Amino acid sequence: MPLSPDQIAEIDAARATPRQTLRAVSEGMEAHLYRAQEVLDHGFIRVIDYMGDDAAIVQAARVSYGAGTKHVSNDEGLIRYLMRHWHSTPFEMCEIKLHVKLPVFVARQWIRHRTANVNEYSARYSILDREFYIPAPDQLAAQSTVNNQGRGAVLQGEEAARVLEILKRDAGQAFDSYESMLSQEGQQGLARELARMNLPMNTYTQWYWKTDLHNLFHFLRLRADAHAQYEIRVYAEAIAACVKDWVPLAFAAFEDYRMGGVTLSAKAIDCVKRMLNGEKVTQETSGMSKGEWREFQVVLG
Ligand SMILES: Cc1cc2nc3c(=O)[nH]c(=O)nc-3n(C[C@H](O)[C@H](O)[C@H](O)COP(=O)(O)OP(=O)(O)OC[C@H]3O[C@@H](n4cnc5c(N)ncnc54)[C@H](O)[C@@H]3O)c2cc1C
């Protein structure tokens, strides 16, 4: 279970004491505030704070005095225009702060997104919990034969059982050693900052992660994408669900132009034009590499 009864009680208490504010409030986001959404076997995401809403994006774009505009359709049109034309700074006016519990190997991918503010749980100061990510059976897959950076068929039967056993055993043994290095009767015990060295990458860590909506969209574009590793993708998907409720107009534009849209190269646009003119274009006559052509075919469906 990702949260203890005490932690759940703290969250309930925070949600039970609403305060009045003059600031912009997103009703959709208020429903998520503080609540933990479980991700993987012991992880979660929860929104700790946020600033702004769809109207704040419009307000910043127009540098206006009031709270957004008079017509939702105007707001929607402007937000779509901003997204379409990569006019990104108005989206930076919205911010989100998340509390995330995640395996260390996921954190390593996540931390590559440099445009965020992060504060991580200190394993120099505190003792880590005995919690490891163990993939569910349907995620225990073999190396992909077509994609060097991916997985293929799900392992079955004895092989799946053997792998699962190794993952559990190694993590358990490493944690036993961690605990025994920290404290043993009649010994001084190794410092926490050193004892953690032997722990595996599936150990859970936690952090507070704050970013603005523009950079969050960039993160989601990369990490909620089918090419992202499953273990980070499920976090991105959980965040995306909150963002959809927080800024529905901006999220719809993001889904349309970024998640659902594609960027075509000049060569690809030339091919589309030639195809529309009735020409039979092949990879050889397209001017594209085999890889580009393959991806272009996927875009064309
Ligand atoms: C499917 C996938 C596979 C990947 N595989 C690998 C891999 O094998 N090895 C590996 O090392 N990484 C890998 N990465 C990580 C990837 O290369 C990026 O580091 C990561 O996605 C963060 O992207 P970003 O730099 O655009 O994001 P952020 O750091 O959030 O930056 C956002 C944007 O800010 C700007 N920016 C931020 N900092 C700078 C800067 N210092 N200089 C100039 N512009 C800046 C850039 O425009 C950038 O796009 C992979 C990522 C994905 C999604």
* CA–CA distance, 72 with 77 (Å, rounded to integer): 9
CA of 9 to the centre of ligand 1 (A): 38
CA of 223 to the centre of ligand 1 (A): 11
Task: Supply φ then ψ for residue 51, to 5 degrees.
Answer: -135, 130
Query: What pLDDT is recorded for position 296?
Result: 95
* CA–CA distance, 89 with 97 (Å, rounded to integer): 18
pTM of the model: 0.94
Query: What pLDDT is recorded for position 145?
Result: 80
- Fold for domain 5-133+202-259? Gyrase A; domain 2 (3.30.1360)
For residue 211, what are the CA distances in angstroms to 49, 61, 217, 243, 260? Answer: 11, 19, 10, 12, 23
The reply to whether 268 sits in an annotated binding site is no
Domain range annotation of the chain: 5-133+202-259, 137-201, 266-300
Report CA dihedral (181, 187, 188, 190) to the nearest 10 degrees.
Answer: -10
* CA–CA distance, 251 with 213 (Å, rounded to integer): 10
Name the nearest CA neighbour of 230 among 156, 150, 145, 161. 150
Query: What pLDDT is recorded for position 66?
Result: 67
Q: Which of 217, 222, 259 to mutate to test the pocket of ligand 1 (most atoms within 8 A of CB)?
A: 222
CA of 255 to the centre of ligand 1 (A): 20
Low pLDDT (below 50) residues in the chain? none
Q: Which of 89, 111, 115 to mutate to test the pocket of ligand 1 (most atoms within 8 A of CB)?
A: 115
For residue 263, what are the CA distances in angstroms to 107, 168, 184? Answer: 29, 43, 59
Query: What pLDDT is recorded for position 73?
Result: 67
Interval 171-228: pLDDT, tens: 999 999 999 999 877 888 999 999 999 999 999 999 999 999 999 999 999 999 999 9
For residue 117, what are the CA distances in angstroms to 60, 97, 103, 129, 185? Answer: 22, 9, 19, 24, 41
What residues does ligand 1 touch, defined as CB less than 6 Å away? 112-115, 215, 218, 222, 227-228
